[in-house]
Structure 1
Amino acid sequence: MRWDRFFDDLEDQLASEWEAERAALDTEAERLRLSRVALQERLSQLVGPEHAAPEVSFEFADGMLLRATVTGVGADWVALLPAEGRTGAVVAPFWSISTIAMPHHDLLRSARPAPARSVLADRLTFGFVLRDLVRRRVGVAVHCTSARVLTGTIDRAGADHLDLAVHDPGAPRRADAVSGHRIVPFAAIAWIGVDGPAPIR
């Protein structure tokens, strides 16, 4: 009987060691997976059907704090729908995001393995979105990292900058309404308020 108990104890000990080793391997594999997760993937996990997407707080390089839901994610930008205060959509490049605050369960959910994204979504750069705004001729408020705000219509969007026709917010872009023109490097943009819905969802 003692030998039976001895072998049972050995089996239990071996099973425990295997379980511990498997847990360690799983933990290491998870650490390795997380080391490869990009901000784009985490933000994509926060996009959901209307009224189901969580509200998160974004702090931008200009000091602005915005509570919003994520409506779209491109290669290097995020589209947001503000929860309160302003109307219209917000488009922000990743490089201008200082911090993102959210409940812990949403934070954990954003780190889960994401479904495969389309190749097209990974090609939709910040410049691409701005060229869409040029095509649509919508009014914008360009919030610069210096905390300056320029309102008007984007006339052109290059590889790393945009041309803005400056005019009063809400006014149509007409020659007599334009008070000046500015070239704004993308690197100087904290976020852009768009009159109306987000350009791409």
Structure 2
Amino acid sequence: MGTPVKGWKLIVKRAFDLIVGLVGFVVSLPIIFIFSILVALTSKGPVFYMQERVGLMGRCFKVIKLRSMYQDAESRTGAVWAKKNDPRITPIGRVMRKTRIDELPQFWNVLKGDMSLVGPRPERPILTEKFSQEFADFPKRLRIIPGITGYAQINGGYDIAPNEKCKLDNYYIEHYSLWFDIKMLFGTVEVIFTGNGAR
């Protein structure tokens, strides 16, 4: 099962990620700094949160985020799908998730090559295995490098059902173009300022 983004398309996508990702990383540093202080002041635990996710062709990597949940929030439940009014999320975490600020450190993942600016959100290994067994089309999401933002995030939000998220991600994969990526980035800016699509 090959990737639909290859050849010159892959080169253009990577170049776009590096240029825009570097600018985004530099611009976001003051915001990350401010919210890292707020996270530290309002809840116990580390400011940054690293978690194993599944990327292109099933390769695992560590995604980095500003911590939006209480420390050890999943110690009793294990890995679960995000839901509306999730009690695991801190008050400042709700603000960060609504505006996507918790995702800003992932510009570093983009610069490293683990992620793209736009693509399916990478899932944890246990959820990837679970949904791959439940939904035949779910593994198709691994045909393209995962993204900070994407078609499913903009049109569904954090608590979209896994099967619906799968459909939106596969639509993006089959219709990929640089222009599609640019439109998704503009759509993300709209989400940040309006909260539409975010949870």
Which is bigger in relative contact order (C-alpha 8 A, separation at least 6)?
Answer: 2
TM-score, with structure 2 as normaliser: 0.28
Higher helix share: 2
Q: Which has the higher strand share?
A: 1
TM-score, with structure 1 as normaliser: 0.27
